[in-house]
């Protein structure tokens, strides 16, 4: 029997409601009982089985993680491997172990063995959509990129799940999933469904 799952969406800044909606839709489509809620303090972070780090502004999200005292719990749960996390766009930056522009105001969580470059697509192309191929997905996925990062390097247990001409845009390392695009901005729930399967594997 599958236990109900509690998925949190970090709600300090960024595209929070879209992820709540996509995750609820994905659970429904997969016929899985679950609860999806906003996480913004230690108590509700400790209560969830998995977490989504939304897009937004990685400098701001990083600062708010520190200010709301979530960093210690997050790092502990990452280290103990009991919190599957999906990070999209700015969330992808936060999950990295290295950020190539070496900003002193972002404190990445060091969950995924990857180096990420922020705002990698230049100003004139701040926002675009592209059909991408994702490993294990039968059909292409319409990916929305908004001032998106690129994954410049991966190592040890990190696997690439999708690449475009400019570089790697989606990776998985054990229970951590990251992508430079915004799957919550389309009606296609396949990325959220993929994350649900990862969560179930880890429960």
Binding site for ligand GLN (CB under 6 A): 55-58, 89-90, 93, 118-119, 146-147, 149
**Shortest Å, Cβ 80 to ligand GLN:** 27
For residue 201, how many other CB atoms are within 10 A of its CB? 10
Closer CB to ligand GLN, 42 or 129, in the complex: 129
Report the DSSP beta bridge partners of residue 131. Answer: 142
Q: Using the minimum distance from each CB to ligand GLN, give the nearer residue, 71 or 103.
A: 103
Q: Quote the least distance from Cβ 93 to ligand GLN, whole Å.
A: 5
Identify which of residues 8 and 55 has a Cβ nearer to ligand GLN in the complex: 55
The yes-or-no answer on residue 166 being catalytic is no
Residue 81 C-alpha from the chain's centroid: 16
Q: Which is nearer to ligand GLN, 84 or 149 (CB)?
A: 149
What minimum distance in Å lies between the beta carbon of 21 and ligand GLN? 17
CA nearest to 70, candidates 86, 51, 97, 90: 51
Per the structure block, which two tokens stand in for 38? 């906003």
Catalytic-labelled residue, pool 89, 92, 158, 193: 89
Find, among 103, 187, 115, the residue nearest to 154 by Cα. 115
- Nearest alpha-carbon partner for 44 in 82, 19, 9, 93: 9
Q: Per the residue annotation, which of 19, 175, 184, 193 is the catalytic one?
A: 184
Task: Clarify whether 182 is annotated catalytic.
Answer: yes
Catalytic residue among 18, 182, 192, 193: 182
Nearest to 60 by CA among 13, 108, 117, 109: 13
Tell me the closest approach of the beta carbon of residue 39 to ligand GLN, in angstroms.
18
Task: Give min distance, CB of 134 to ligand GLN, in A.
Answer: 19
| Distance between CA atoms of residues 84 and 77, nearest Å | 9
Question: Which of residues 30 and 71 has its CB atom nearest to ligand GLN in the complex?
Answer: 71
Looking up tokens 């522009």, which residue turns up?
Answer: 101
Which residue, among 193, 5, 8, has the nearest Cα to 85 in the 3D structure? 8
Active site residues: 89, 182, 184
């Amino acid at each position: 029997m599958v236990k109900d799952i509690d998925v949190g969406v970090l709600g300090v800044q960024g595209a929070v409601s879209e992820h709540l909606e996509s995750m609820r839709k994905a659970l429904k489509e997969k016929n899985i009982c679950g609860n999806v809620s906003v996480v913004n303090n230690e108590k509700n972070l400790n209560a969830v089985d998995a977490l989504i780090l939304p897009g937004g502004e990685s400098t701001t999200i990083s600062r708010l993680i520190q200010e709301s005292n979530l960093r210690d719990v997050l790092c502990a749960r990452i280290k103990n491997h009991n919190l599957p996390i999906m990070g999209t766009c700015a969330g992808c930056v936060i999950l990295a172990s290295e950020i190539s522009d070496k900003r002193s105001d972002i404190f990445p969580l060091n969950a995924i063995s990857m180096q990420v470059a922020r705002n990698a697509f230049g100003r004139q192309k701040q926002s675009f959509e592209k059909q991408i191929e994702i490993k294990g997905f039968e059909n292409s996925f319409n990916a929305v990129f908004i001032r998106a990062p690129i994954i410049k390097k991966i190592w040890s247990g990190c696997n690439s799940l999708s690449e475009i001409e400019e570089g790697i845009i989606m990776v998985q390392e054990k229970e951590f999933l990251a992508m430079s695009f915004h799957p919550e901005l389309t009606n296609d729930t396949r990325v959220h469904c993929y994350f649900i399967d990862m969560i179930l594997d880890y429960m």
